[in-house]
């Protein structure tokens, strides 16, 4: 079973690498479907592999070294990331909505469209959605850009830059206690955001 799960994981990662390499030549629908299939396959494989997942993902990345995954923040691409202390779990928006407590304090990768259901400046409410489910997301860049006297922006992007875009988000699921403005909720604390395809 471990061997089979490793093979599934390798195929799923290869599919993501193919999507990344051909992002300019495939449609948004095809890209979304491929990512969804790969994410589900990776999720199933990681459940079987358990603690062996990090080693399997690392060896898979090595075997795909002729077309390595994107690492770090870029304006395009679909990365698969691991680090020395924890595995980044590929999950779907539905996974997070269905059982958020299972992912608290875990590093996850989720894809979908970023939307705002609140007042952007007064009380923003950002969510990642797959058009069926929605999961709350904390802002990871400023809402607006401050400018210097000569008109040059101090910061390159705002949350508005990501709104209504299809993204791959990396981060940690946190439980956020109730505040005066918002009820208690599970949320994604984003550490990295990548556009799915060209900008």
Q: For 108-154, what is each residue's pLDDT tens digit?
A: 999 999 999 999 999 899 999 999 999 999 999 999 877 655 665 55
CA 114 from chain centre, in angstroms, equals: 11
The upper half-sphere exposure of residue 104, i.e. CA atoms within 13 Å in the direction of its Cβ, equals: 9
CA distances from 125 to 13, 143, 154 (A): 32, 12, 25
- Contact in structure between 113 and 120 (CB atoms under 8 Å): no
Q: What is the pLDDT of residue 69?
A: 36
Please name which of 92, 130, 86, 135 lies closest in space to residue 110, comparing C-alpha atoms.
92
Average pLDDT, the chain: 75
pLDDT classification of 28: cutoffs 50, 70, 90? confident
Residue ranges of domains in the chain: 2-63, 91-195
- Do 90 and 44 touch, CB atoms closer than 8 A? no
pLDDT at 39 over 90: no
Provide the terminal-to-terminal Cα distance of the chain, rounded to the nearest Å: 40
How high is the pLDDT of residue 66?
Answer: 31
Q: Give pTM, 2 decimals.
A: 0.57
Render 40-109 in DSSP notation, one character per residue: HHHHHHHHHHGGGHHHHHHHHHHHTTTSPPP-S--SS-----B-SS-BPEE--HHHHHH-GGGGBT-EEE
**Residue scoring higher pLDDT (27 or 185):** 185
Nearest CA to 196 out of 7, 70, 97, 43 is that of 70
Q: Where is pLDDT greater, at 147 or 189?
A: 189
Q: What is the CATH number of domain 91-195?
A: 2.40.50.140
pLDDT given at position 56: 40
Q: State percent of the chain over pLDDT 90.
A: 41
Range in 15-19, 83-87, 109-113 the model is least confident about:
83-87
- The reported pLDDT for the residue numbered 67 is 33
pLDDT of residue 1: 62
Could you tell me which of 194, 182, 93, 75 has the C-alpha nearest to residue 134?
Answer: 93
Question: Per-residue confidence at 49, pLDDT binned at 50, 70, 90?
Answer: low
Q: Which of 199, 192, 160 is nearest to 69 (CA)?
A: 192
Kindly tell me the burial class for residue 158, based on how many C-beta atoms sit within 10 Å of its own C-beta (0-12, 13-18, 19 or more): middle
pLDDT for 65 beyond 80: no
Q: pLDDT category, 41, cuts 50, 70, 90?
A: confident
- Residue 92 pLDDT exceeds 90: yes
């Amino acid at each position: 079973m471990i061997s089979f799960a490793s093979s599934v994981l390798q195929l799923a990662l290869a599919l993501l690498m193919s999507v990344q390499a051909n992002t300019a030549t495939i449609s948004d629908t095809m890209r979304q479907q491929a990512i969804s299939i790969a994410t589900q396959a990776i999720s199933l494989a990681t459940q079987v592999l358990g603690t062996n997942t990090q080693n399997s993902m690392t060896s898979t990345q090595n075997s795909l070294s002729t077309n390595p995954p994107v690492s770090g923040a870029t304006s395009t691409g679909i990365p698969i990331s691991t680090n020395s202390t924890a595995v980044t779990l590929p999950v779907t928006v539905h996974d997070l909505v269905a059982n958020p407590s299972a992912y608290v304090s875990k590093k996850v990768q989720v894809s979908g469209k970023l939307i705002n259901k609140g007042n952007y400046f007064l009380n923003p409410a950002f969510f990642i959605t797959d058009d069926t489910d929605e999961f709350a997301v904390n802002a990871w860049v400023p809402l607006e850009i401050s400018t210097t006297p000569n008109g040059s922006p101090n910061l390159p992007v705002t949350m508005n830059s990501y709104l209504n875009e299809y993204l791959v988000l990396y981060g940690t699921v946190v439980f956020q206690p109730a505040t005066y403005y918002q009820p208690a909720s599970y949320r994604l604390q984003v550490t990295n955001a990548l556009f799915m395809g060209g900008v």
